[in-house]
Amino acid sequence: MTRSHKKPEITTKGKVALTIGTLSILFPAMSLIGFLEPEHTLPTSTLVAIAVIGSAVAGVVAFPRQWLRSSIAGAVTGGGSLMGILLYVIIRTVIIESDTFYHFEFVLAGLIGGLPGAALFRWVRSGNKSLRQSQ
């Protein structure tokens, strides 16, 4: 028995949420790892708050009916991604005393840090399916 899997399409709402989430993680991460001038950076707690709140808003934009679940999943994704990038930079500079990084290293660290939040988004999507079935 074969199952046909349709490739999920990203809606406009999903694209907007993805853009909000990416930007809310990108600029704090750039500031934390030293891409911005030191006089233009905010305190670390403020940068983490920007990433967490921005990603929570992105989660609500993506799944407005499950706003509480999606905001929790978005906050975990944003905070995890930012902390994954920060921890990677700290650990790598201790192991290899070099300030040269490749872009894919940051992307990979952010993706690994955001995995717990991605798992929570599966929980959000399962809630959306149960809502559709009850209507």
Give mean pLDDT in consecutive 10-residue pieces for the chain, a chain of 135 residues: 66 89 91 80 90 95 90 94 91 85 87 91 73 51
The per-residue pLDDT for 132 is 52
Q: Output the pLDDT for position 123.
A: 81
Instruction: Provide the pLDDT for residue 44.
Output: 86
**pTM score, whole prediction:** 0.80
- For residue 47, the surrounding DSSP H or E stretch is helix 44-62
Q: pLDDT value at position 2?
A: 60
Q: What is the pLDDT of residue 112?
A: 94
Is residue 55 within 8 A of residue 116, CB to CB? The reply is: no
